[in-house]
Amino acid sequence: MVIEKICCLGAGYVGGPTCSVIALKCPNITVTVCDKSVERINQWNSEKLPIYEPGLDEVVKKCRGKNLFFSTDIAKGIQEADLIFISVNTPTKTFGNGKGRAADLKYIESAARMIADLATSNKIVVEKSTVPVKAAEIIMKILRANTKPGVEYQILSNPEFLAEGTAHSRGQKAVQALCWVYEHWIPAKNILTTNTWSSELSKLAANAFLAQRISSINSLSAVCEATGADVSEVARAVGRDSRIGPKFLEASIGFGGSCFQKDILNLIYLCECLNLPEVAAYWQQVVSLNDYQKTRFTRKVIESLFNTVSDKKIAILGFSFKKNTGDTRESPAIYVSNTLLDEGAKLHIYDPKVEVDQIYYELTNAYVTSEPERVRKNIQIHDTAYSAVTGAHAIVLCTEWDEFKELDFKKIYDAMMKPAYIFDGRKILDHEALINIGFHVQTIGKRLSRAGSIRAQGSQTMP
Ligand SMILES: NC(=O)c1ccc[n+]([C@@H]2O[C@H](COP(=O)([O-])OP(=O)(O)OC[C@H]3O[C@@H](n4cnc5c(N)ncnc54)[C@H](O)[C@@H]3O)[C@@H](O)[C@H]2O)c1
Ligand SMILES: O=c1ccn([C@@H]2O[C@H](COP(=O)(O)OP(=O)(O)O[C@H]3O[C@H](CO)[C@@H](O)[C@H](O)[C@H]3O)[C@@H](O)[C@H]2O)c(=O)[nH]1
């Protein structure tokens, strides 16, 4: 089976970059990324791409208009393709059965229906979105029930790092065809094939394990703060054991991003449906601990500022969920900002990559506030860290952008209200140097000599 044309439904964070790399690595394959959003496709066809990813601009510039196309003509994309990636969003359900936990598969279903309606020749359909176990069966059911005469489908699950196929022989050919695409740049020994259910569950399991490591080290960060141990030292020691390993042991303000929470909630829901309440409770704790970490950090900010932030200017440095991205989905900065806004603070926010409108959207949408106008009045977004911090009572560092380490903190200290506070939610700053300048500093998983909290000054509070 030779793949000449690939179509991808969904021009998001996964579909856009994945297809750009396929186009770069497979010059003989024509790749068309389709989306129902005209705005998104226009952005992909413009000088300013809709997402920031290091190196992505160059790849798109090199391939766009040659063998990489972005289009809203979904019908043409589907009809011409040999292989179709479904890379649409699978958000957590916000209503009805499974609300707050189950993945909402309405976009997957609509993509499958579009394929069934429009396809006039055989297709390999590859589920690229992260889905609950057995979602491939839903796609198969929809396609089979609506198939045009003579059209055959092979469904594969290929979440991120696994290539997989159904067991029968045509399915195996489809698996080989997809492997062939990847083998243009990935050594064959690194391409794993397995059955659909294992593939789907592996994706949820991988994210659950990664998030669990972060919640584990974050839980210990609280123990460190209470005892005087240093969580970085603990992580370094524990990570030296090769059975544990050093990666993903960075204590933080909490994990964010579009995947971890959504996928664990999805796993929890799956376990509940399978009547496995103990397993569901086990994974729920990973999410609960993450919520605890965000709450704990924010409470520390408020308590340190004499238990009131009302009308105080607070600088938020970093708004994306991690460095090197403009993505704000589930960013811990949203929780921190919302809580401070609820307490009456005036926020001055700076992030090197997040768009201004995106920050306003995250802090004023209907899910987080019933008073968008009041909130809007209390937010100011800045072009530089220096302008955000001028006149501030406190700096709350939410994202580990490298440029924050290079700031001139003496200059910043002079420009701030006194006492000047820094809350380093990512443990990236030189705390001793900041203390020497005169700052009151607090961070995650380490008690500092001049923390400046109420408790450090001899009174009560702080759990
Ligand atoms: N973001 C990540 O880092 C990441 C990594 C691995 C897996 N995933 C998974 O991949 C999937 C996609 O994630 P994303 O971050 O790219 O989402 P996204 O929201 O950035 O993009 C999804 C796109 O699909 C489009 N869409 C929805 N229905 C459509 C349809 N029927 N036809 C055409 N377009 C349609 C939407 O308009 C949107 O632009 C999710 O299941 C996610 O869990 C995401
Ligand atoms: O030691 C660590 C590592 C990460 N984080 C935080 O965890 C979140 C997620 O980070 P990361 O995993 O790097 O980002 P994602 O882009 O969300 O990638 C995850 O989610 C994707 C979507 O499913 C998967 O494909 C990836 O393998 C998986 O790492 C971020 O807020 C990080 O700041 C920590 O707090 N401590």
Contact of 318 with 400, CB cutoff 8 Å = yes
Mean pLDDT of 101-113: 93
* pLDDT tens-digit series, residues 358-390: 999 999 987 788 888 989 999 999 999 999 999
* Position 240 pLDDT exceeds 90: yes
> pLDDT higher for 302 or 102?
302
Ranking 150-159, 326-335, 337-346 by mean pLDDT, the lowest is 150-159
CB atoms within 10 A of CB 159: 23
Condensed to tens digits (0 to 9), the pLDDT of residues 45-77 reads 999 999 988 889 999 999 999 999 999 999 999
Q: At residue 463, does pLDDT exceed 70?
A: no
Which pLDDT score, from 0 to 100, does residue 136 have? 85
Confidence at 280, pLDDT banded by 50, 70, 90: very high
At 274, which CATH number?
3.40.50.720
**CA gap 78, 115 in Å, rounded:** 6
Please give the pLDDT value at position 412: 98
Look up residue 92 and give its two tokens.
Answer: 């957590």
Question: Ramachandran region of residue 185, left (φ > 0), alpha (ψ -120 to 50) or beta?
Answer: alpha
Q: 208 and 168, same structural domain?
A: no
**pLDDT above 50 for 462:** no
Task: Tell whether the model's pLDDT for residue 163 goes beyond 80.
Answer: no
Q: Are residues 243 and 364 in the same domain?
A: yes
Average pLDDT over residues 120-131: 90
Return all residues near 449 (Cβ < 8 A) that are at least 6 apart. 435
Phi, psi dihedrals of residue 442, rounded to the nearest 5°: -130, 145
Give the domain-ending residue among 145, 179, 194.
194
- Give the C-alpha separation, 227 to 218, whole Å: 14
Element (H, E) at 50: none
Q: What is the DSSP string of 238-291?
A: HHTSTTT-STT----S---SSSHHHHHHHHHHHHHHTT-HHHHHHHHHHHHHHH
pLDDT of residue 199: 86
22 and 157: one domain?
yes
Comparing 78-87, 233-242, 405-414, 443-452, the range with the smallest average pLDDT is 443-452
Longest dimension (CA), the chain: 79
Which protein residues touch ligand 1 with a CB less than 6 Å away? 9-15, 34-37, 40, 74, 87-90, 107, 110-111, 114, 129-130, 160, 258-259
288 and 396 together in one domain = yes
Q: Which residues, 6+ apart, have CB-to-CB distance to 93 below 8 Å?
A: 99, 100, 101, 102, 103, 104
- From 99-108, 253-262, 412-421, the region with the lowest mean pLDDT: 99-108
Beta-carbon-side half-sphere exposure of residue 278 (alpha carbons within 13 Å): 0
Two tokens, residue 259: 């995947």
Average confidence (pLDDT) over 213-234? 97
Ligand that lies nearest to the alpha carbon of residue 130, given by its number in the listed order: 1
Split into its structural domains, the chain has a count of 2
- Give the tens place of pLDDT for each residue, 7-25: 999 999 999 999 999 999 9
Q: Which domain holds residue 150?
A: 5-194
- pLDDT value, residue 170: 61
Q: Over pLDDT 70: what percentage of the chain?
A: 94
Does the structure show a pLDDT above 90 at 162?
no
| 206 plus 249 within the same structural domain | yes
Last residue within a domain, chosen from 194, 227, 246 = 194
259 is catalytic: yes
Mean pLDDT computed over 219-230 = 96
Residues 200, 189 share a domain: no
88 CA to middle of ligand 1, Å?
4
d(CA 426, CA 398): 7
d(CA 349, CA 356): 9
H/E element holding 70? strand 68-71
450: confidence class by pLDDT, cuts 50, 70, 90: low
Is residue 445 lining ligand 2, measured as CB closer than 6 Å?
no
User: How many other CB atoms sit within 10 Å of the CB of residue 433?
Assistant: 12
Residue 139: φ, ψ to 5°: -60, -45
Pocket test for ligand 2, best of 14, 203, 260, 321 (most atoms within 8 A of CB): 260
Q: What is the spatial distance between Cα 202 and Cα 228, in angstroms, rounded to a whole number?
A: 38
Q: What is the pLDDT of residue 458?
A: 39
| 83 shares a domain with 135 | yes
Spatial distance between the Cα atoms of 349 and 309, rounded to a whole number of angstroms? 16
Q: Which helix (H) or strand (E) holds 149?
A: none
Chain centre to alpha carbon of residue 459: 39
- How far apart are the CA of 119 and the centre of ligand 2, in A? 36
The pLDDT score that the predictor gives to residue 381 is 98
